[in-house]
Amino acid sequence: MSIFLKRFLPHILVIIGFIALSLAYFSPVLQGKKIFQSDIMHYIGMAQQQKEFAKVTGKETYWTNSAFGGMPTYQLGAKYPHNYIKKLDLSLRFLPRPADYLFLYFLGFYILLCALKVDFKLAALGALAFGFSTYLIIILGVGHNSKAHAIAYMPMVLAGIVLTFQKKYILGFLLTSIALGLEIVANHFQMTYYLLLLVLILGLAYLIDAYKKKVLPHFFKSLGILSIAALLAVGLNATNIMATQEYVKESTRGKSELTINPDGSEKEVTSGLDKDYITEYSYGILETFNLYIPKFMGGGNSEDVGRDSETYKAYINLGASPIEALEASRNAPMYWGDQPIVEAPAYVGAVVIFLCVLGLFLVKGRLKWWLLGGTILSLLLSYGKNLGFLTDFFIDHVPLYDKFRAVSSIQVILELCIPVLAVFALVRLFNDFLKDEEKLKALKYTVGITAGLAIIFLLFKSVLFDFESYRDDGYIEAYGQGFIDSVIEDRKALFTADTIRTLILILLSSGTIYLFLQKKLSEKLVLVVFAILILFDLVTIDRQYVNNDNFKPARLVDMPYQANEADKEILKDKGHFRVLDASRIGQSQPARAAYFHNSLFGYHAAKLGRYNELMEFHVYKNNVNVLNMLNTKYIIDQDQQGSPIPVTYYTEPNGNAWFINELRSLNSANDEIRALDSIDTKSVAVTTASGFSIKSDVLKFEVDSTATIQLKEFQPNYLRYESSNKNDGFAVFSEIYYQHGWNAYLDGELMPHQRVNYVLRGMKISQGSHTIEFKFEPEVVKTGSSIALASSAILGVLLLLGIFYQFKQRKAEA
């Protein structure tokens, strides 16, 4: 027992410390409050229908009608059978959100450093440097939870890989399998993809090292073990991976069949996202220094510069009251970089950067090169369109790179690598691998680079930078040149203050190391000093952007939308129809209507591709025939005071389903989507030859006044219609076509149905009276769940065998 305590007690104490720090930073959770996150507010709106369905029926629906006309819930928090790795994840996230993610940041990074054989005290220090990195805190503030979730497990995956290459094959295999399974369950494939890029660099470093040391058999043995672990991790998440892979082909991330834009111009056809969309958020090359000086580029789009600022005085001079001027100066346009929106700088920390540069001189070998390689690659790729030749190469030639947007977010890799190298600078400082003279020489070089750069910025800021933004023209037009001159003065003031701040922190850090080398400070005291410096450096910046003000009573966060008069009026109608919320177009709550109604709009990064194209070509242009075929019964508009009001649609929508007189077969997707401009969708439908094979260009059907088709029952994943027709006919259903899961039944017998009118469902119905049912029965969920169950069972058996083997081996050694 004493051996156990001696070995594990330090780690237990560290973990308890991580819990305490996580709760301390997000202390309002202890009062039952919850953090308000804009992205999560949108998610709540999108997922409300499926949650209500589960609450009422006790079953999961994998389709929702509440947003974008209808779409799978695979990327809306769908819960799958036998998803046991998710249960493990939930167990690890036992703290209230978002303290749970901060705890995972700490824990994952701590495990990585321990795997790299770092002393637990230094590992804990490194975990603080990583966990409090400003970008990682900011994404929690805005609600990028799945991104934070995936980032938190990255270090743990690397730890498993490192252990495997250290010949700890069993432990490495088990940790890699579980950690990668947890990484995938976080469901942010972009972050997992970036992790893969870092793993490739790590693997290359190990390969080169193995070649030099002539231990290639060990390398390939480790590679084989890790490959099996990766397959097992994929199996644990089979349902989500398979469903996502199936869906992504039909989403905006997949290849479009259109070769034209809504304005008729020729469209660049790609298999992924549009290049401009991918690189919209490209990190400015000059913004690199934000990693080192927090408000080098002014901070975020809206900064609080206070009453003593030039911006405040400018508002007063424009005639604003003191209260109005103060409020406006709390949202001053300080950011002067080129990205569209920046909540806060991606600040890694002056102290951490200082130690990282020191590490470049002190750390040797494989470790330094894979960390440096990962840092440089992620920085260069984050520049996006500002380093076009490299970005274009990756978009055009590197598999899957064109499936992800916001290239600046790849900086999560350097935000992981830099703290590791910083910690190893202290490891090398404290051990005897290098002489004190070499350490002192490295310190001088580091101070010369880091402090020298800060001094140059201070002395020559007005020569080097103009502090102007492309957004300034709008302010000049609204308020005049004098106003923006005042804003620029405040940008310079922020730049100067934070550069001096960085310089002071560098001098304090270098002074601490110098005193240690002069035997004036002990190793323990140095650790305490750096813990204080790192916490002060990072937390004071973090708190400017994510603090207690972000928290609200739980009720307001859990139910962010309250029904207004328009919603209440529409909710009286118990039919099945869609709502166009025109009052939210371009506004801050795009998913609001989806919370209450079946909305034409919503908020999602991967909408169904064809539906998105229909919106761009027709819905946004208010095409009446298209709105009718989508069964749009109500429009929420605004009155003169800006309050939402319901307006019954001014023409009769087509209804839930209708028999048509004519089905036209067209040659291409271009023809099909353009045809919706001119046809009467109540009587005519169009399709393409690839979507529905017919012998002639036009099929005609006789529809008399007695022909009816009515919706009798509807749920998100089930619809039942009753039809009566004296003739053979063709019905169009105002439901979004999705071939992977929706099955049509005629009087209980499975029947084929087709895509018509670019996005809707169509079906031949023979004469007479019939019952038509649509059921969402995705095979991918059944297949994936079986694979997940088998993978979980295999992992469970291997885990037990691994524990038994380790126990037996330790007993034999004793």
- Do residues 488 and 298 make contact, with C-beta atoms less than 8 angstroms apart? no
Q: What is residue 694's predicted lDDT score, i.e. its pLDDT?
A: 53
Q: What is residue 111's predicted lDDT score, i.e. its pLDDT?
A: 97
Distance CA 129, CA 422 (A): 9
Q: What is residue 689's predicted lDDT score, i.e. its pLDDT?
A: 61
Decide if pLDDT at 530 tops 70: yes
Q: What is residue 478's predicted lDDT score, i.e. its pLDDT?
A: 87
3-state helix, strand, coil in the chain (%, to 5): 55, 10, 30
Decide if pLDDT at 446 tops 90: yes
- Residues 589-637 have pLDDT tens digits of 688 889 999 999 998 888 999 999 999 999 888 888 999 999 999 988 8
The residue among 468 and 587 whose pLDDT is bigger is: 468
Q: What is the mean pLDDT of the chain?
A: 91
Burial of 434: CB neighbours in 10 Å, binned 0-12, 13-18, 19+: middle
Decide if pLDDT at 292 tops 80: yes
Q: What is residue 16's predicted lDDT score, i.e. its pLDDT?
A: 96
Q: What SS3 class is residue 225? A: helix
99, HSE (Cβ side, Cα atoms, 13 Å): 22
Global model pTM greater than 0.85 = yes
**Cα angle, residue 119 at apex, residues 115 and 120 outer, rounded to 5°:** 85
- Residues 49-78 have pLDDT tens digits of 999 999 999 999 999 999 999 999 998 889
Q: What is residue 646's predicted lDDT score, i.e. its pLDDT?
A: 62
Q: What is residue 149's predicted lDDT score, i.e. its pLDDT?
A: 95
Strand partners, 749: 746
- Residues 261-291 have pLDDT tens digits of 988 888 776 666 788 888 888 999 999 999 9
Beta-carbon contacts of residue 629 (< 8 Å; ≥ 6 apart): 654, 676, 681, 682, 732, 734, 757, 760
In 596-661, DSSP assigns E strands to 632-638, 644-648, 657-659
- Do residues 713 and 775 make contact, with C-beta atoms less than 8 angstroms apart? no
Decide if pLDDT at 25 tops 90: yes
Q: What is residue 151's predicted lDDT score, i.e. its pLDDT?
A: 97
Q: pLDDT-derived band of residue 96, with 50, 70 and 90 as boundaries?
A: very high
Q: Which of the residue ranges 155-164, 553-562, 745-754 would you say has the lowest mean pLDDT?
A: 553-562
**Cα angle, residue 420 at apex, residues 375 and 160 outer, rounded to 5°:** 100
- Of 644, 785, 761, the residue nearest 65 (C-alpha): 761
Q: What is the mean pLDDT of residues 413-418?
A: 96
Distance CA 198, CA 207 (A): 14
Other Cβ atoms less than 10 A from the Cβ of 698: the count is 10
Q: What is residue 521's predicted lDDT score, i.e. its pLDDT?
A: 92
Q: What is residue 724's predicted lDDT score, i.e. its pLDDT?
A: 94
Q: What is residue 84's predicted lDDT score, i.e. its pLDDT?
A: 94
Q: What is residue 648's predicted lDDT score, i.e. its pLDDT?
A: 61
Decide if pLDDT at 259 tops 70: yes
Q: What is the mean pLDDT of residues 296-308?
A: 90
Q: pLDDT-derived band of residue 252, with 50, 70 and 90 as boundaries?
A: confident
- Do residues 744 and 774 make contact, with C-beta atoms less than 8 angstroms apart? yes
Six-digit token string for 146? 């799945």
Residue percentage of the chain with pLDDT more than 70: 95
Q: What is residue 583's predicted lDDT score, i.e. its pLDDT?
A: 76
- Residues 333-355 have pLDDT tens digits of 999 998 988 888 999 999 999 99
Q: Which of the residue ranges 174-178, 302-306, 375-379 would you say has the lowest mean pLDDT?
A: 302-306
Q: How many residues does the chain have?
A: 814
- Residues 546-584 have pLDDT tens digits of 999 999 998 988 888 888 888 888 889 899 999 998 876
| Single-letter residue type at 589 | Q
Decide if pLDDT at 105 tops 60: yes
Q: What SS3 class is residue 753? A: coil
Distance CA 185, CA 178 (A): 10
Q: What is residue 695's predicted lDDT score, i.e. its pLDDT?
A: 55
Strand order of the sheet with strand 768-776?
A: 708-715, 718-725, 768-776, 742-746, 749-751
